[in-house]
Amino acid sequence: MEILGIGTDIVECPRIGKMIEQYGELFLRRVYTAREVRYCQARKHAIEHFAGRWAAKEAILKAMGTGWSRGISWTDIEVRTGESGQPRVMVGGIAKEVARERGIADILISISHCRTYATAYAVALAKKAPPTTPPTTAQD
């Protein structure tokens, strides 16, 4: 497994809270998928979860090596929660095309947050190389 890129981001949770307060549904629909909105709104500290997913999306784009270029939209990247609670990255749209072009097979993500800050760290992984067989040696 080869690491193709890493990315990290940190955001102030109150900043995301102000964006949601100021722009409401317009902001939420632009940045988050419907699944992400449902997940975050169901949490006790929803703003921290929205901020965590914001930081995750930024970190993922850094790991992909693109930033917000090439027409990638916020909702091309979705952070889902696995059965054991770990975050999982799903890419679609232009982000999926870019990932394919760059040989990215998977993106691992870690998210952390408190009342003040949310942070995320992403690692973009290459497709697994076929296993190599060790060279054979002559027996005496």
49 is catalytic: no
113 is catalytic: yes
| Candidate list 18, 62, 127, 128, residue with the active-site label | 62
C-alpha distances (whole Å) from 33 to each of 36, 61, 65, 116, 126 are: 5, 16, 22, 23, 26
| Candidate list 57, 113, 127, 128, residue with the active-site label | 113
Radius of gyration of the CA atoms of the chain, in A: 18
Backbone angles phi, psi at 38, to 5 degrees: -60, -45
Active-site residues, by number, are 62, 113
